[in-house]
Amino acid sequence: MTDLSPDLPRDPRHDPVLREEVIAALAIAPGERHVDATFGAGGYTRAMLAAGAEVIACDRDPDAIAEGQALVQQAGGKLALIHGRFGEIDRLLAERGIDAVDGITFDIGVSSMQLDRDERGFSFQKDGPLDMRMAQDGESAADWLNRADEAEIADVLFHYGDERQSRRVARAIIAARPLTRTAELASVIRKALRHPPGAPKDPSTKSFQAIRIHINSELDELVAGLNAAERVLRPGGRLAVVSFHSTEDRIVKNFLRERSGGDAAGSRHRPAPTSQARAATFETPARKVRPGKEEEARNPRARSATLRSAVRTAAPAHSAQDKSGKEAMSC
């Protein structure tokens, strides 16, 4: 089998954020079975294999699955690559006869591979078709922007992008339709927000993020993925989640706080439940981890990253009646 040492040069397509910290949180013992729920270019998977794990990796993007086949061959039977959404990881594993695993990691949001390819339409820095679909199927960003009404667009920009001037941007988008290119949309947003050319902090950032999150149902997918992880982690199994903006991190933080019993006592703002409290399904989460200055200098994408992790208890998983992404982010 080809050497899979973590000291090998990083894949030039993807420098996995907080790689060493994620592997430390997973505490992999040789022979354990771990899930990389967001395969991308395989950065975390490669490190898991190097630590001695058998890895099942998942991605909704067919390009990631196709390009990952070389690593499957290199891993010599230690890696299985599955095309599918990580919110359904429990079902995807069950279809392969797997009902429990020792660890799961999520790297939430858009991958470097997707951002760097003009034809995928994720970046306002590159002109390409206004697409943004991670799975490359369903409604594109252009489809939605050209049919949605002003209120719907403004709501998405406000809730998923923290865009305070969401109504102004939405009105500008409606007036400029039809939109088909990323450069067109970025120009509309900049003009609406009176952004001078060449000025720092491009105002398109928030709106592009919001539209991408909406098109891919990313927050609902995150909530579903966390619940699926709870169901398939064996007692003592480890969960590690890397997120890149406050809304995602808030969902992860609230999930782990609730599942570790952090809400059991209630407060004067949030009364304790009247029914008997459920047993904690996770131990008290580890302290959040942020990248060091060296990593931030090497990889600008790391600057907004946060890692949260926790260990599964033996308590039964909660039922499937859990909150949607929008509800969870308001907790």
For the chain, how big is the Rg over CA atoms in Å? Answer: 20
Q: What is the pLDDT of residues 137-161, one digit of tens each?
A: 999 999 999 999 999 999 999 999 9
323 token code pair: 């909150």
Name the maximum alpha-carbon separation found in the chain: 59
The answer to whether 206 and 157 have CB atoms below 8 angstroms apart is yes
d(CA 264, CA 86): 28
Q: Which residues of 248-282 are buried (b: 16+ CB within 10 A; e: fewer)?
A: bbbbbbbbbbbbbbebeeeeeeeeeeeeeebebbb
Q: Give per-residue pLDDT as tens, 78-116.
A: 999 999 999 999 999 999 999 999 999 999 977 666 666
Structural domains of the chain ordered from first start = 19-112+218-328 (3.40.50.150), 136-215 (1.10.150.170)
Q: What is the pTM of this model?
A: 0.87
| 267 — pLDDT class (breaks 50, 70, 90) | very low
- Paired residues of 233 in beta bridges: 101
Give the per-residue pLDDT at 115. Answer: 67
Which value, to the nearest 10 degrees, does the dihedral of the CA atoms of residues 195, 201, 207, 213 take? 170
Nearest to 44 by CA among 98, 88, 103, 90: 103
Q: What is the model's pLDDT at position 249?
A: 96
